[in-house]
Copies of this chain bind each other. A is one copy, B any other.
Amino acid sequence: MQVDRFDPTPLYQQVARAIREQIQSGSLKPRDPIPSESELVADHGVARETARRAVALLREEGWVVTLPQRGTFVADRPGRTGGS
């Protein structure tokens, strides 16, 4: 799904929202891999940096966990930071 370039919402937030909704709806389940950066670039029509920011945002929000050189996966308890 391409982003909407007329929507003033930053593209990386649009991409993040699309993934977040897939997690919330259950089409992406805990421990499932989310699309790789390259796939996000192709699927959404954005630059890699934009895709990376989207994933970074989801990571900060606790939706996903990234394993370097492995991939990024849906967290066991998505949406929870795990912090104190």
State how many residues of chain A have any CB contact under 8 Å with chain B. Answer: 2
Given the complex, which residues of B lie within 8 Å of A84, measured CB to CB?
83-84
Count the copies: 2
Give, as a whole number of angstroms, the nearest-CB distance from A59 to chain B. 12
Q: Which label, helix, strand, loop or mixed, suits the secondary structure of the A interface?
A: loop
Given the complex, which residues of B lie within 8 Å of A83, measured CB to CB?
83-84
Q: Give residues 44-59 of A contacting B (CB, 8 Å).
A: none
User: How far apart are the CA atoms of A84 and B83 in the complex, in Å?
Assistant: 9
CB-CB nearest in chain B for A84: B84
Residues on A facing B (Cβ under 8 Å)? 83-84
A selection of 3 A-B contacts at a CB cut-off of 8 Å is A83-B83, A83-B84, A84-B84
